[in-house]
Structure formats: C-alpha cells, structure tokens
Amino acid sequence: MALYLSEGEVRTTIRKIRSKAAAGSVVLADIYVDRMFKRFKSGSGTEALKYTDEKIKFDLNLSTNYEEEVAKFIRNETLSVGEVFFVGWKDARGPLLAEGEMECD
C-alpha cells in the first residue's frame, strides 16, 4: 500500500481496483503501521525521506487488536479478508507491518 498517499487516496485506489477486478481477484497490500513510521522519521529514515522528498501520509495504529483493525480496514472497502501476515507480531507494542490479501467478491 502506498505509504505516500493519504488515507483517502488509498481508499479511492482500492475502490477503483475493486470496481474493475473480477470476482475472486486478490489484491495484495502492505499496510504500514504508525510504529514503523516512527522509525522512518528518526535516524537514517529521516535522511532517506529528505533524499526522496516524499512525505509519509498513511498508516494504521495497530498497537492493540491489530488483527481486527486490519480486517475492519479491508471490510470497510467491501472486500473479504484473505491471509494476512503481521511482521513483528511477537512484539508487545504490536506489529510493524501487515502484509495481506484483500479478496474481491
């Protein structure tokens, strides 16, 4: 999922894909988490963002109930939740990234 788009732009893109996709199609997405962006905004991540002149605009707070939060995000776009993998899920603060399938019905 494009972290450089606003939440509205991300949702609009998902809706456009869904409107054109055949039933049974699967959209794969990386959903970045606010905790990951805190890392981007400090240290070497700051230098990388300066180099590209890009701004981080969209992330989800997955510090609690992360599985349900991602499922809710996907279902709000009238898609079904497929397999989702949470990078860093063992950390008490929650995952850093969700990689998941959004299935077109």
Residue 49 lies in a domain: yes
pLDDT at 49 over 60: yes
Helix, coil or strand: residue 4: coil
Indicate the pTM of the whole model. Answer: 0.77
Q: How many domains does the chain have?
A: 1
What are the phi and psi torsion angles at 43 (to 5°)?
60, -135
Q: What integer pLDDT is reported at residue 86 of this predicted model? A: 93
Residue 81 lies in a domain: yes
Where in the sequence is the domain holding 99, given as residue range(s)? 7-103
Residue 62 lies in a domain: yes
Residue 70 lies in a domain: yes
Residue 2 lies in a domain: no
Res. 58 pLDDT band, cuts 50 70 90: confident
What tokens appear for 84 in the block? 């989702």
